[in-house]
Amino acid sequence: MKLDVSLLKSVLNIYDELFTNGVSLVYLGEFNHEITKMFTSMAEDDLDRQSTNISVKRRVYHVMVETLQNMNRHSDEIANDENIGKGLFMIGKRNDSYFVITSNRVTHENKDRLQSALNQINNATKEELKEMYKKQIKEGKLSNKGGAGLGLIDIARKTTGKLDYHFIPYNNEEHLFILNVEINTKVLKEEVEREGEKKE
């Protein structure tokens, strides 16, 4: 590939956007168990360098692993016969919030089912999420894609806001599914303190 002016400008624009928005790790391509391990290890090192509080670190790590696994479950773009999905993964921090962004292609049919599950999760309280989680473990009825519903519920329970998602038309058969989850360190600290008070 030739490094022409147009390509260099595109790279520079992408770099500026990622840097400005606090993105520290980006990957685009196939996702399998080994790549997931590599990324979680790199992200863990990044959290260590930032002297992240242990409670926050554990929460970010858990959400990151679950979003990676969840993306692979939802991906309708299969790379080969080993059922390895493709997608985009980003992690970063801006102000007081860590964020994890994933993106992958889904069919129109799966988009409707996924959107329904996401809306149900976003409309639930923390207590309702807890009950949905228990029910999903026992019955597994929220999703037909190998526990993906359980993964989304777990992510919602561990993050400090609603699941921010978008479906962008990609072609005649697919949408690009983008999921952004955040963990606000101040909100998390308050939650941990409240949980500690309840135990006392």
> Could you tell me the maximum CA-CA distance found in the chain, to the nearest angstrom?
64
d(CA 43, CA 49): 10
Domains and CATH numbers, the chain: 25-108+160-199 (3.30.565.10)
d(CA 98, CA 182): 6
Model-wide pTM > 0.85: no
- The pLDDT tens digits for 67-126 are 887 776 666 655 544 556 678 888 888 888 888 899 988 888 889 888 998 999 999 998
Lowest mean pLDDT among 142-156, 161-175, 176-190: 142-156
pLDDT band at 140 (very low <50, low <70, confident <90, very high): low
Residue 178 and residue 75 in contact, taking contact as beta carbons nearer than 8 Å:
no
**pLDDT score at 141:** 54
Other C-beta atoms closer than 10 Å to the C-beta of 96 total 14
Residue 74 and residue 105 in contact, taking contact as beta carbons nearer than 8 Å:
no
**pLDDT score at 147:** 41
* Cross-strand pairs, 100: 91, 181
Q: 40, 198, 47: which is closest to 126 by C-alpha?
A: 198
Spell out a b/e string for 143-181, using b for 16 or more CB atoms within 10 Å of the CB, else e. Answer: bebebbbbbbbbbbbbbbeebebebeeeeeebbbbbbbb
Q: Rg of the Cα trace of the chain?
A: 18
Bridge-based pairing of strands 85-94 and 23-31 is antiparallel
**pLDDT score at 71:** 73
